[in-house]
Chain A
């Protein structure tokens, strides 16, 4: 199990036109900014390439992987070089923006893209599960986010009110 091998496969998929672009989101992305903890999935957000007729389907992606011997699944994830990779579509305009504005980084020498911390924070707020709320507190306390940039994201995606409610409830007053 080594994430660099997984990322190389993802980069080959992108170079081969199977996916237009991808970025790491979810827990792994969050842990690059805050205290890491256990996670088994690598959440990969992708822009699906429409097949003939404009249909958006993950079928070509899974066929590509199956042809290369990746046929093991763990729940909704497909195992690529030891990592359970979950391919996720852009379910909201916020997630779509997070993908287009993802930043380039290198993990173990392999280039890849990851959501910005400010977008990850906004996604936590939008998703709103208890674990997202806990993670959002960690982002504020540990990652020194750019609050002006974050406020603009919130405004664009009508999350400012949700942020006010969240910060009044969970963040100590300044």
Chain B
């Protein structure tokens, strides 16, 4: 079997786009609603995954971020 060339893949993609663009309004709406359903299923599946443990806060006295460290450096010497 002859392997697909990049041109074949791009042509197939272009043909798919043209076919989908030419669907009737009602067919397009059906497609959008199916995509929404699929998207919602994916999102709820992602939300049901166990959350990573929350990061422990920095101990007192330790700078929280690079920004605050930089701000401290920029403070004028008294």
A-to-B contact residues, CB < 8 Å: 1-3, 28, 31-40, 105-108, 138, 141-143
Contacts and interface: CB of A to CB of B under 8 A. Distances in A.
Interface of B: 16-18, 20-21, 23, 25-26, 28-29, 31-33, 35-39
Nearest to A109: B26
Contacts of A36: 20, 23, 28, 31-32, 35
Contact of A3 (B17, B29, B35, B37): B29
The residue in B21, B29, B35, B38 that gathers the most chain A C-beta atoms within 10 A of its C-beta is: B21
Contacts of A37: 35
Nearest to B24: A32
Contact of B29 (A33, A40, A107, A138): A107
B35 A33 contact: no
A1 B33 contact: yes
A105 B28 CA distance: 14
Nearest to A84: B36
